[in-house]
Chain A
């Protein structure tokens, strides 16, 4: 089955700096890669996703890149703000309608 790894497990950045979270997946059949943000005590929420036919996707300050050959994908947050502090989970699934397998998460702290 699919296995998703994620690093770093914790990340601290100064406000205004960029943050990068990297993930790898094991199942070459995976084609859909969402990212979820979970604030302390709250439920996970989708922030961005990417499909295998696209190498990069951007939405304001966040962007995701995908390298299917290497089975790597990454989340980039620019101009970080304190409200970006949360746990971020990468995930993968064979299609956008299959079960979603999550990585272990990255705890991001943005220091004002």
Chain B
């Protein structure tokens, strides 16, 4: 396993369309996080999972955003009715609870909403 992988790397969509991103964490990692990063800013917390349970979702996150981790392995992040303000890099990270606190980030999905 070479690390956290995200798909797609880039997504261009029109305003109002739905998009879905996938994250495959490091195989033994039970924690999975989604962050959003815009140019010149730090990663903004969106949500995180322990196994298949969603532990917390940012209060700032619109109801248009939903995330799942159905089998405790890969995760998907869906954005419905995209808006131009959703344009950002969406980063996934994973960690292993009980074996260190380091977050391992994926390369991200760059979303552009036209």
Contact = CB atoms under 8 A, between A and B. Distances in A.
Interface residues on A, range: 20 to 34
Interface string B57-79: 00100000000000000000000
Contacts of A32: 101
Contacts, number: 51
B103 A46 contact: yes
Contacts of A49: 101-102
A55 B39 CA distance: 32
Interface in A8-47: 32, 34, 36, 42-46
B105 A100 contact: no
Interface of A: 1, 4, 6, 32, 34, 36, 42-46, 49, 89, 91, 96-97, 99-105
Given A97-B97, A100-B103, A104-B42, 10 more contacts: A34-B103, A43-B106, A44-B103, A45-B105, A91-B42, A97-B31, A99-B33, A99-B48, A102-B45, A105-B41
